Structure 1
């Protein structure tokens, strides 16, 4: 076999069926060979960053590894921001990167790709020779899955047409992280705190968002009489439960914030307790905190806590419940009928609409779109000032259907992520972006969604400005003109790229567009005009 056929076979035998990428002279034969395998697909994108972002979205949607492939030099440096996003999201991504030949020292695309990779926090694996390629692929795949971060597999271009021998993957296939039994001492510390609590709250993060963990946490909350809350990444895990407080921290609504403030104990499962979840630590003030996580590095990482238990969320929750039964500890009643009534009475629609005949209040648009779009959907957010209300007002059926792209504080990462998430989930996908983010990264990849026939609806909240900068100028009574843009009309652009574009200037036009969405047969862009002085985070 030739090397490029061997590496393609190795990818396939690791269960990889989908790769996103941009072809160049250092990866084109590998990717051509890969897509000739039955059931394998190479999804060509427009920009290398989009390839890694798509692999990111795919991995999030499927729970497996996402794979991207790029060539060398400037193609590789184009993926730096996407690598950082993947590292901070803790997404298992394999980047098959072509590199220049070692002997070609004068190649004008030469750059040390390892030295580019390491500052991003991603891992790096070098294909050492044609003899070691199968082993090198196996190590890179397992590292990505085990370390939960992007890993670059660096492949010199001069290997592609050399002869190589194929060896199937040796050893067991990846079977996921294995459960750890918590220590008895740690359990007893946690139990003492929980048993003495009078106003406990159970908080779930992404590490406790499986169906099994959800059921166990609901059982524990019922057992101790505790309301339930989640981090942003575990959003809507407890939707439908009568004592669901929703998102904990800076995004908490007033009823939830009062219940969290009054609590005397927070029992957390798979939650990092970062500054946003804890509202700069204020949520944890004057209360005991028990932290349960399967990863030791997560325990006490952001906050000092009173008890730390390493173990699987669901298993530990059930163990705690059993121990409370043995000790005959009574429920607290903090999850009261009165609290349930307050939660049922509040509404996201409790605001004064600021729409006009020329601009739309984005909060009203969110409510309409959230209600109209299929509930079994994939939801992706780009970055921008608009996103604060999106965080709290859009909903999903399960946390695994939710993906945001603000881990590095960047805009423009949503479209690539949405392409991968739509491919991996097979569900209707709703991307919420701003005009700046769309121009930065969405425009390049909208036609990618068209070419690959994805069921994608892009909602652009268009205030004609970089909104965060606009409001800073306004707050200091300065001229915001330099933060504003005279964009083209985006609906005809979407049409020209092969999709369907709509322009929305008022709520009546939005209703008309929503009525047409069920008949869509291609990617859709909805350009919703906003007033930059009326985009509120509150």
Structure 2
């Protein structure tokens, strides 16, 4: 067979079922072959969206995502989405193929340099005979390093005949097991002596919920999460919810009063740690399988599997006769329950004559949408509403595209999440970011995806509008006039509605409740908002 066929075959042998791509000279033959041998090729409208789709597919499915674009402008068009995936630590393969080595080739571009700029890995197939080996190397690097890898199969090599070797086999991930015994003993000594411990879990702890809950009960610790761990401990009486800058008042007070913070599978970025304020003045124990994520603020840093470490900690503490700490407030569970039931401050009074508060929308969506939904947000000032008010059953059902702080990536990421999960998926985007990739709604229509797109439309680049207002400047330059989102969505084949009032929401409640079960495909809500409403300040 030819090398392009061997590359496609190798991907299938390694367990790849779906590639999100946009065809061009550099990648069309591997894409055609992949579909011909039983793989699924999801054609995107833009290269950036193809990478975002693979990103969402990987994050929600917790597996490798694969995208494919052509060389030159195809690769540069994908650079922003690739950088987002790098910073999200998504295992992703981006298949492309370098141009023929001619100085006058119009699409020549340094693919190795592009990968380096994004922070991605790079594997170039140097000889056609090595195609399968290099594909496997790229796949395993992406999985082991938890980051995108650009796989470059140069066009001149693709047509070279190669021998058909033995089939490849997926390699199991080589995760670390239990931590160093001496370091574990140090951590256990700190935990045993703590009077007010708190446990903070992140995305790296998704498989360890039961073990962490059992450990928390053994040591008497309330449980909190990072934003990406949202919902992990839902239903637990001492669930503090999301900690950091999004924390509730009771949760924040609890962490500030803690003497020990056990951090499991979380990177402790500036938002979670409130620029380090939540780490200062208390012992920090951090467990993560990636040594690069262990913070200098950690008194003990354990490079290990979170689930096995949590189970081992509990077993050893129980065997030693450890009693749960009792210095946290005795009424903490009641306070947390009361806080969860209390309406968001100011939300009832923030609807305008012809605008609606996004929080009003998110609360209704939270009530009426199917419980097994997936939620994906773009980035912008509107994110506080869905982050706080739109729940998910598991952290694996939530993703945001704020890692590179670029607007416009949310819709593509949601498309990949919906295509991979087959479940109702909500994409919450701003008007500026939404209009950038609204054409990709045609892909959702073509695939019949169970997708709800909520456009928080304040007629402005909202974050810039807010900054100008806070600086005392005229925010008018940040205002924008867009096409009618609902009309554009209908032109692309989707259902759509404009929402200005709670009554408008009631009018689409039946469609929302049946999302994913009615087979009607995507639905867009153009939610008209007030740009002067500051969601960051109003809770």
Specify which of 130, 133, 143 is matched with residue 132 of structure 1: 130
Structure 2 counterpart of 1:2: 2
Indicate yes or no: 2:459 matched with 1:464: yes
Structure 2 counterpart of 1:145: 143
What's the offset of the Cα at 1:141? 0.7
Structure 1 counterpart of 2:15: 15
Q: Residues 169-248 of structure 1: matches in 2 within 5 Å?
A: 169-170=167-168, 173-210=170-207, 213-248=208-243
Structure 1 counterpart of 2:487: 492
Structure 2 counterpart of 1:316: 309
What's the offset of the Cα at 1:169? 4.4
1:456-479 per-position Cα deviation (integer Å, ceiling 9, x unaligned): 110010000001111122223322
Contact kept? 1:226, 1:334, Cα under 8 Å: no
TM-score (norm 1): 0.96
Contact kept? 1:207, 1:293, Cα under 8 Å: yes
- Please give the secondary structure, in 2, of the residue aligned with 1:283: coil
Runs ≥4 residues deviating over 3 A: 334-337
- Please give the secondary structure, in 2, of the residue aligned with 1:386: helix
What's the offset of the Cα at 1:389? 2.7
Going from structure 1 to structure 2, the CA distance change for 1:49 and 1:418 (only over 3 Å counts) comes to same
1:106-148 per-position Cα deviation (integer Å, ceiling 9, x unaligned): 1111111111211110011111122111111111111111111
- Structure 2 distance, partners of 1:534, 1:466, is 13
- Structure 2 distance, partners of 1:139, 1:49, is 24
Structure 1 counterpart of 2:88: 89
What's the offset of the Cα at 1:403? 0.6
515-524 vs 500-509, greater mean Cα deviation: 515-524
- Please give the secondary structure, in 2, of the residue aligned with 1:209: helix
Structure 2 counterpart of 1:110: 108
Q: Residues 136-535 of structure 1: matches in 2 within 5 Å?
A: 136-170=134-168, 173-210=170-207, 213-300=208-295, 303-334=296-327, 337-347=330-340, 349-352=343-346, 353=348, 354-441=350-437, 443-517=438-512, 518=514, 519=518, 521-535=520-534
- Structure 1 distance, partners of 2:352, 2:134, is 59
Residue ranges of structure 2 left out of the alignment (5+ in a row): none
What's the offset of the Cα at 1:350? 2.9
What's the offset of the Cα at 1:337? 4.8
Residue ranges of structure 1 left out of the alignment (5+ in a row): none
Contact kept? 1:18, 1:42, Cα under 8 Å: yes
Structure 2 counterpart of 1:30: 30
- Structure 2 distance, partners of 1:177, 1:85, is 25
Contact kept? 2:91, 2:143, Cα under 8 Å: yes
Contact kept? 1:198, 1:332, Cα under 8 Å: yes
Contact kept? 1:13, 1:168, Cα under 8 Å: no
1:358-415 per-position Cα deviation (integer Å, ceiling 9, x unaligned): 0001111111111111111111000110002322221111111111000001100011
What's the offset of the Cα at 1:516? 2.6
- Structure 1 distance, partners of 2:158, 2:304, is 45
What's the offset of the Cα at 1:334? 4.3
Contact kept? 2:26, 2:70, Cα under 8 Å: yes
Taking only aligned residues, the RMSD between alpha carbons, in angstroms, comes to 1.5
- Structure 2 distance, partners of 1:368, 1:177, is 43
- Please give the secondary structure, in 1, of the residue aligned with 2:508: helix
179-188 vs 158-167, greater mean Cα deviation: 158-167
175-184 vs 263-272, greater mean Cα deviation: 175-184
- Structure 2 distance, partners of 1:178, 1:488, is 49
1:39-58 per-position Cα deviation (integer Å, ceiling 9, x unaligned): x1111001101111111111
Report the number of matched residues. Answer: 530
525-534 vs 124-133, greater mean Cα deviation: 124-133
- Please give the secondary structure, in 1, of the residue aligned with 2:436: helix
- Structure 2 distance, partners of 1:380, 1:340, is 30
Contact kept? 2:466, 2:534, Cα under 8 Å: no
Contact kept? 2:15, 2:170, Cα under 8 Å: no
- Structure 1 distance, partners of 2:452, 2:166, is 41
What's the offset of the Cα at 1:335? 5.5
Contact kept? 1:362, 1:535, Cα under 8 Å: no
TM-score (norm 2): 0.96
- Please give the secondary structure, in 1, of the residue aligned with 2:129: coil
361-370 vs 512-521, greater mean Cα deviation: 512-521
- Structure 1 distance, partners of 2:244, 2:204, is 17
What's the offset of the Cα at 1:322? 2.1
